[in-house]
Structure 1
Amino acid sequence: MTEPSPKDFKPVDEWRDIYDFLDQVRLRPSMWVRSGSLLHLQSVLYGYSVACKIHGVPAVTDFDQPGPFSEWLCPRLGMRRSSLGWEVEIQRAAETAGVPPLDMFFNLLDEFRTERDDAVQDAAR
């Protein structure tokens, strides 16, 4: 990965959705996620979801449990539905593969988004 340039960093008021937040996390993970912990990242995402619900704001809740991301992830990792949460399952898979969990999360997130975008485009045809 190339070093991010200053134009890659966006202030909060320029974010449109949770994916813009995740793009910023990817650029500076240690700023947003303590020790690269997926549990901490999941907590932030859950807090976002709760805040949106409390304030009646429509939000992308792909990362709720259960939710679209975890539903997609189970077959992708070759497992049945997990009650432990996507963050635990990715942590386990990353340990088995010997890769940093946050790196695996972002790789899986890219796949998830690509497949969803492709499905939306196919449905529009």
Structure 2
Amino acid sequence: MTDTSGARRQPRHLAELSNVHDFLDEVRLRPGMWLRGNSLQHLDSMLIGYRAAMAVHGIDEDFDFWSPGTQGQFAEWLWQRLGHHSSLGWAVEIEREAEAAGVPAVELFFSLLDEYRADHSRAL
């Protein structure tokens, strides 16, 4: 999400967001504000809460990050991408991969998310 004009997009109010991907774009813009210690496990917890709130309020939205009984489409894609499965969840595995590669976990997550989005949009 590089802006070649040098201008940085302004954050949006939560009321302006229409889905989980809009929310994740806001997290990408200011990860330090949303994620204590830049922890992907905190992001995973927020996304589970997001999904729970959708269920409580009867909101039907495609949600790739968690559903009762499954880790979600993103995790399934990630297991194929990494070549192994993990019961610990996508956040822990991305944090492990980032540590091994010497890159920030949040940076790796958003790189993988971009790749997932590209793959998912081609499949539609």
Q: What's the TM-score once normalised by structure 2's chain length?
A: 0.89
How much identity, in percent, do the aligned residues show? 48
**2:32, 2:26 → 1: CA distance?**
11
Paired residue secondary structure (2:95): helix
Q: Does 1:28 align with 2:68?
A: no
Q: Which whole-Å deviations, capped at 9, do the CAs of 1:78-120 have from their partners, x for residues lacking one?
A: 21x2110000110111111111100000000000000000111
Aligned length: 118
Q: Which residue of 1 aligns with 2:76?
A: 71
Q: Which residue of 1 aligns with 2:92?
A: 88
Aligned-residue CA RMSD (Å): 1.4
Out of 113, 116, 119, the residue aligned to residue 112 of structure 1 is: 116
Q: Which residue of 2 aligns with 1:61?
A: 63
1:4 Cα offset (Å): 5.8
Q: Which whole-Å deviations, capped at 9, do the CAs of 1:11-31 have from their partners, x for residues lacking one?
A: 111101000000000000011
1:59 Cα offset (Å): 2.3
Paired residue secondary structure (2:120): helix
Is the CA contact 1:49–1:59 (under 8 Å) kept in the aligned structure 2?
no
Unaligned 5+ segments in structure 1 are 121-125
CA gap 1:33/1:4 in 2 versus in 1, 3 angstroms: farther
Which has a greater percent of helix? 1
Q: Which residue of 2 aligns with 1:123?
A: none
